[in-house]
Structure 1
Amino acid sequence: MQVARAQQGLRELILAGELPPGKRVSEPAMVERLGVSRTPVRLALERLAQEGLVAPGASGGFVVRAFTAADLADAIEVRGTLEGLAARLAAERRPTAAALAPLRDCVAALDRVVAQPVLSEADFDEYVRLNAFFHEELVRLAGSGVVARAVEQAAAQPFAGPSAFVQLHATEAAGRDTLVVAQEQHRLLLEAISRGEGARAEALAAEHARVAQRRLRAALSDRDKLTGLPGGSLLRLAAAWP
């Protein structure tokens, strides 16, 4: 329990920019700040190193990593590929109507959110919650702990999660349109899985992640927007992304 608490606390400090890129993470300071003992902090840092948020320092310990635009794009691509695998496995296992019911209910609830002509901040928050559930349920239906762990690790990268850019949509005039497109892909994914169409489900899930790729490209044109999001302080955008 203490390790999970330390891991979450450290991740929040890093994504909030309180531990900037290149900074060595002081274990004694984190012990005091997080209210846990030193061993859980060390184990939490090792887990974050596996996630890619920190890296071993030259003189020992761990330092916070910086990310390029290409890093973010690759992380989204990996997540999409893994979710495609999950979608194919789910379809090939032909889940029962009862097993698919939570996913169907989620899609129906998302339909109600995006059907509104104008979305409020609360609507975007609700979309984030339901979207997270959709992606979790998609992976659950695959029935593979190996795939689930791989997806979780890929999605832990800054801006790689399925709802990473929804906060940006909320500030844009065309924000609702982007969510409508994503929701149509949710609906098609559900249809493919329910029909046992593995190859189609895999392709749809991979294409679904490409929406996030396109939003990343658009967001990179306004660095202020990105740096205002959790994890934005970790970006190093000097190198152009093709």
Structure 2
Amino acid sequence: MSKPGQQVISRLRQMILSGELASGQRLAEIPTAEQLGVSRTPVRIAFRTLEQEGLLTKLTGRGYIVRQVTQAEISGSIEVRGVLEGLAARQAAENTLSAEQTDELLRLLKQGDSLFEKGHINEQDLAIYHDMNQRFHQIIIEASLNSAIAEALSRNEHLPFASVNALAFDQNNLAKEYRRFNFAHMQHHAVFDAIQNGQGSRAEAIMREHANATHGYAKTFSQMEESGEKIHILNNVSAST
């Protein structure tokens, strides 16, 4: 997907997290495209992606409705992803990375270093990070040589914010977002080091902790519940660039 398409996905997710899009709210392509200042195509793709993620429900006629999602639902799906990706990292360490996998992971880490060295992040950076992050995780899953992990992750990705692609970006707190994504990138360095050195238990622990970075979403919903605010989440918006 194009970078504008990825930005539309991220923006819609953040609108859900912030409460700007309420549960039960109906969404249509044209007004949403006008609101975001984009064409209908990226909005259409975003709606489909968010539906797959369990954030939106397609109406019988035309359009979608924002689905209500609980903090417990998000936490549970993220925890399952952490367990599965932790297992993948451990088995990748036990199997030993191929030369091609090692080279590509090193390239991705270097790309991330360049992305974060300027000390801030924006929506364009997020689109780059999305692709980089997606491929990094995919290589580790492939290196596990365990097809059951990929199949289980595929099923789990239909739950809210369970997918590694389900990134949201708070434009109102760029300093915090920079720290969050930069820390996640440092975890990439750590898990690569563990896998490359055959440290299966360490690799598994780091990868499981890596998934916890997404728990920030769950905490957001928990705070909204405590304050009595409505919780709303959109279903999948395709995030590939």
TM-score (norm 1): 0.66
Instruction: Give the counterpart of 2:127 among 125, 128, 134.
Output: 125
2:199 matched to which residue of 1? Answer: 197
Aligned residues of 1:84 and 1:202 also touching (Cα < 8 A): yes
Residue 85 (structure 1) shift: 0.3
Instruction: Give the counterpart of 2:150 among 148, 151, 155.
Output: 148
Aligned length: 184
Amino acid at match of 2:189: R
1:230 aligns with 2:238: no
1:73-129 per-residue CA deviation (whole Å, 9 max, x = no partner) reads: 000000000000000010000123333221221111111112222222111111111
Q: Secondary structure at the match of 1:119?
A: coil
2:37 matched to which residue of 1? Answer: none
The CA distance in 1 between the partners of 2:231 and 2:166, in whole Å, is 10
Structure 1 or 2, whichever has the larger Rg, is 1
Unaligned runs of 5+ in 2: 1-45, 237-241
1:158 matched to which residue of 2? Answer: 160
The CA distance in 1 between the partners of 2:102 and 2:193, in whole Å, is 10
The CA distance in 2 between the partners of 1:110 and 1:154, in whole Å, is 27
| Alpha-carbon distance change, 74 to 192 in structure 1, aligned in 2, over 3 angstroms | same
The CA distance in 2 between the partners of 1:83 and 1:141, in whole Å, is 11
1:98 matched to which residue of 2? Answer: 100
Aligned residues of 1:86 and 1:139 also touching (Cα < 8 A): yes
Aligned residues of 1:85 and 1:202 also touching (Cα < 8 A): yes
What are the equivalent positions in structure 2 for 1:1-242 lying under 5 Å apart? 12-13=50-51, 17=56, 19=58, 26=60, 67-168=69-170, 170-172=171-173, 173-218=175-220, 220-221=222-223, 227=232, 230-231=234-235
Aligned residues of 2:81 and 2:211 also touching (Cα < 8 A): yes
Amino acid at match of 2:127: D
Q: Secondary structure at the match of 2:187?
A: helix
Higher relative contact order (CA 8 A, sep 6+): 2
1:187-219 per-residue CA deviation (whole Å, 9 max, x = no partner) reads: 000111111110000000001011111343135
The CA distance in 2 between the partners of 1:180 and 1:131, in whole Å, is 12
Q: Which runs of 4+ in 1 moved over 3 A?
A: 8-18, 64-67, 218-227
| Alpha-carbon distance change, 222 to 113 in structure 1, aligned in 2, over 3 angstroms | farther
Aligned residues of 1:76 and 1:155 also touching (Cα < 8 A): no
Amino acid at match of 1:124: L
| Alpha-carbon distance change, 211 to 10 in structure 1, aligned in 2, over 3 angstroms | closer
Q: Identity, % of aligned pairs?
A: 28
Unaligned runs of 5+ in 1: 1-7, 20-24, 34-63, 233-242
| Alpha-carbon distance change, 208 to 12 in structure 1, aligned in 2, over 3 angstroms | closer
The CA distance in 1 between the partners of 2:136 and 2:149, in whole Å, is 16
The CA distance in 2 between the partners of 1:137 and 1:151, in whole Å, is 14
| Alpha-carbon distance change, 97 to 226 in structure 1, aligned in 2, over 3 angstroms | farther
Residue 69 (structure 1) shift: 1.2
